Amino acid sequence: MSDVALRMEHVYKKFRKGESFNSLRDLIPALTGRMFRQQELSQTDKREFWALQDVSFEVKRGEALGIIGHNGAGKSTILKILSRIMKPTKGELMVNGRLSALIEVSAGFHQDLTGRENIFLNGTILGMTKREIESKLDQIVAFSGLEEFIDTPVKRYSSGMYARLGFSVAAHVDPDVLIVDEVLSVGDYVFQQKCMERMREVINGGATVLFVSHNLKSVTEFCQRSLLLEHGHIVEIGPTPQVISSYLNRSRSEHLKSADSKSVVISKVTVRNAAGECLRFQSGEKAWIDIELTAYKRCSKLSVSLYVTDEQYQNVFDTSTERLGHGNFILEAGEAFICTFELQLNLADGVFHPSVIVYRYDTQTEYDRWAPAKTFYVSSDQDVRGAANLFPKVTRHEIRSKAASVAAIASDEGRNLA
Amino acid sequence: MREELQELNKYRELLFMITYRDIKVRYKQSIMGFMWAILMPILIVMSGIVVRYAYVLAAHKQLQMADITSVAVKSLPWAFLVSSIRFGGNSLILSNRDLVTKIYFPKEIFPLAAVMSSLFDFAIAAVALVVFLAVVQVHVNLSLLWVPVLLLTLIALASGIGMVVAAGSLFFRDVKYIVEVLLTFGIFFTPVFYDVRMFGDKGKWLLLNPVAPILEGLSACITRQQRPDLSWLAYSVGFAAVALLGGYVFFKHLEPAFAESI
């Protein structure tokens, strides 16, 4: 066995837009019509489009590869071709070992069967043997946290329970190649953490993973390498942080193409340290964010707002030129405006996204928004968690004897009474 | 072809699982439970008896027990065939739509599972039939050894047609309705209520229907203790083999396009 787990070579996939003939009644007249009018053939050709064009990549055994791109870029098509649900129009494809796809994990469920029966049904559909399922049944049930309801028909489950059961089965397949498509968003926070944990286990267990997600944070966390897909082409393949930043830049240039109608656009955002452009910082370091605006029409009372979100796009910090006492400004058509925010990154370990909005202060009209504009990474020497780094120190650390602690409580109570 | 069959063999547990699911779900939701398996054949047998009674009245004869047993013996396999094709034909587009588009495995499992679950119903009804035959004292004899051959031919035929209809109705919505009409009126072109012998020389035209020699054969070896007509049986076996093989090749040829066409 080679160390390549899966490979795609020059894969093309063509789809047909619109309805094709889907009843014999329509097909037969159409076929006879076509014999007389040749030009109809070229018309049907126009209705076809390429969902994937010349896609080639390979993934090594034990590697995790992320796939990012806009909706409709062809991510799901790649996964469907790899999992053999669809056949490529052209090109070669090689998968080494058992492949399992975490796509629509509860697709195999039947409403009228109980949770237990569905575990067996779905497990077999995903390629497990009955014996294998029997040996893992307890684990699966425990993972789902549905012990009490396991003999209830799944039609009485809530949608969260449904998804949890589906994921629990799928997560125990032990594949050589695992394909994950945006399924980690099921269940509550605790269950999501459990899923992430399980993913990590699978990866550490030596499986090859292909991960498709819009959650750039999880992609960064799981995949050293990523692939950027745009309109069916591979645009870039390389280290994840680099691919993500070019993904964000490209989204922006797409946006700017339609900028004619706008009055002001944010044309450039740069994150840098004292030395120059930079995306990796130590906690507590200083960062400068340069923002450039270009005006197409005269605009007055402008202000630039900068906010920073965490990996889940929750707001962590938010400010604006106007709130920092720089009033508001007027731009004539053709003028550019440059400003720099200096930030002290009192942030804990993690991924952060600065976003920029330019707006008119008094009417609260938004002219342009670039969110997220960039992604930067903060690391810290201390093990601190959460969004902010409050630079903690433990200044007292002692164990009291029982007598002393009773005395302390008594004196506390005495103080409260007084 | 060989690889495809090996893969099907690899997924045989799934075939049993889907069959089990289909059976379980069918009986779970019904008030009648196992009566369901018998109801449909009983209705066919009853209508057969009415039709038979009309014949004997017209011919100024008496209704014989042999007429009734013959109708009963032929009704069950017919009910099995109809249910296999009906469930099999709908198995891709109705009950398993999500599975067709989301997960990979050999999809012929669905029409085949429909045949197997119909076979389960058939088995239950067959138990009832055997009890009935024992009561009316049909003799056990060597010609009964032909029964497995005849049933296997019928199963092969049902599987072949089931696969063609399943794949066909995925691509063309009206296939389902056409097949439904054929199944409804097919009983008049098949010797279920009548015997081919009644038509004399013209009977051979009816035997061109590949189901006819199978049903006539069953009736011959169970109710009349005779060997089935071997040349016509060979015709049916040949037809069933072609249907099974051709149906499988047809299905496998179209399978890659299922997910995007459904």
Domain-located, residue A392: no
Give mean pLDDT, residues B221-227: 89
Chain B environment of A104 (Cβ under 8 Å):
98, 102-103
Instruction: Tell me the residue range of the domain where A332 lies.
Output: 259-379
- How far A213 CA lies from chain B's nearest CA (Å)? 17
Binary contact (A83, B103; C-beta < 8 A)? yes
User: Is the minimum CB–CB distance between A87 and chain B shorter than 8 Å?
Assistant: yes
| Residue A304 and residue A339 in contact, taking contact as beta carbons nearer than 8 Å | yes
Supply the DSSP string of B139-171, one letter for each residue: PP-GGGGHHHHHHHHHHHHHHHHHHHHHHHHHH
A183/A301 same-domain check? no
Please indicate whether, in this complex, the C-beta atoms of A113 and B260 are within 8 angstroms of each other.
no
Dihedral (CA of B135, B136, B140, B144) sign: negative
- With CA atoms as reference, the chain A residue closest to B260 would be A86
pLDDT at B109: 95
Nearest-CB residue to B14 (from A24, A27, A124): A124
Interatomic CA distance for residues B122 and B23, integer angstroms: 12
Contacts of residues B2-8 at CB distance under 8 Å and 24 or more positions apart, as own/partner, are B4/B106, B4/B252, B7/B106, B8/B106, B8/B108, B8/B109
- Per-residue pLDDT, A139: 92
Residue A295 sits in the same domain as residue A226? no
pLDDT tens-digit series, residues B43-72: 999 999 999 999 899 988 888 888 899 999
Mean pLDDT of chain B: 90
The residues spanned by each domain of chain B are 2-261
Assess if residue A307 is contained within a domain.
yes
The HSE-up count of residue A111 (CA atoms within 13 Å, CB side) is 7
CB contact under 8 Å between B103 and A107, yes or no, is yes
Name the pTM for this structure. 0.77
Q: Which of A80, A113, A124 sits opposite B24 (nearest CB)?
A: A113
Q: Categorize the per-residue pLDDT at B183 as very low, low, confident or very high, splitting at 50, 70 and 90.
A: very high
Task: Look at residue A46 in the predicted model and tell me its pLDDT.
Answer: 62
pLDDT at B238 over 90: yes
| CB-CB under 8 Å, B24 with A87 | no
pLDDT in tens, B145-154: 999 999 999 9
CB B118 within 8 A of CB B201: no
Q: Is the domain of A226 the same as that of A78?
A: yes
Cα–Cα distance measured from residue B111 to residue B254, given in angstroms and rounded to the nearest whole number: 14
Question: Can you give the three-state secondary structure of B16-32, one letter per residue?
Answer: HHHHHHHHHHHHHCCCC
Neighbours of B101 (CB within 10 A): 18
Report the CATH number at residue A147: 3.40.50.300
CB nearest to B260's CB, from A86, A103, A129? A86
For residues A124 and A218, state if they share a domain.
yes
Ranges A191-195, B25-29, B247-251, most confident: B247-251
Tell whether A269 and A365 lie within a shared domain: yes
Whether residue B82 contacts residue B43, with contact meaning beta carbons closer than 8 Å, is answered with no
For residue B19, what pLDDT band results from cuts at 50, 70 and 90? very high
Strand-pairing partners, residue A15, are A49
Instruction: Give tens-digit pLDDT for A353-386.
Output: 899 999 888 888 888 888 888 888 898 888 888 8
Axis-axis angle for helices B65-90, B175-186 (nearest 10): 180
Q: Do B174 and A124 touch (CB under 8 A)?
A: no
Is A204 a domain residue?
yes
Number of domains within chain A: 2
Whether the complex's predicted ipTM is more than 0.90 is answered with no
Burial class (CB in 10 A: 0-12, 13-18, 19+), A409: exposed
Interval A384-415: pLDDT, tens: 888 888 989 899 888 888 887 777 777 777 66
Q: Which among B252, B260, B261, B262 is the top mutation candidate for probing chain A, defined by the most A β-carbons within 10 Å of its own β-carbon?
A: B260
State the best of B21, B117, B175 to mutate against chain A, taking most chain A CBs within 10 Å: B21
Q: Is A364 on the interface with B (CB under 8 A)?
A: no
Residues A200 and A289 in one domain: no
For B75-97, what is the mean pLDDT?
91
How far are the Cα atoms of A115, A266, A330, A331 from residue A256, in angstroms, in the given order?
A: 50, 9, 21, 19
- Percent of the residues in chain B that have a pLDDT greater than 70, as a whole number: 98
Chain B contact residues (CB < 8 Å to A):
13-14, 17-18, 21, 24-25, 28-29, 98-99, 101-105, 171-175, 178, 256-257, 259-261
Helices (H) and strands (E) in chain B — how many of each? 12, 0
Q: Which residues of chain A have pLDDT under 50?
A: 1, 39-42
Residues 323 through 352 of chain A touching chain B, CB cutoff 8 Å: none
The kind and range of the H/E element at B131 are helix B109-135
Angle at B210 between CA B229 and CA B223, to 5 degrees: 45
One domain, residues A211 and A337: no
Q: Which two tokens stand for residue A145?
A: 């946290």
- For residue B220, give the nearest of B122, B142, B134 by alpha carbon: B142
pLDDT value at position A326?
Answer: 86
- A290 touching B (Cβ < 8 Å): no
pLDDT value at residue B242: 97
In this structure, the strands spanning A315-320 and A299-309 are antiparallel
Domain co-membership, A349 together with A313: yes
Domain CATH code at residue A263: 2.70.50.60
- A183 and A293 belong to one structural domain: no
Inter-chain CB proximity A104 and B257 less than 8 Å: no
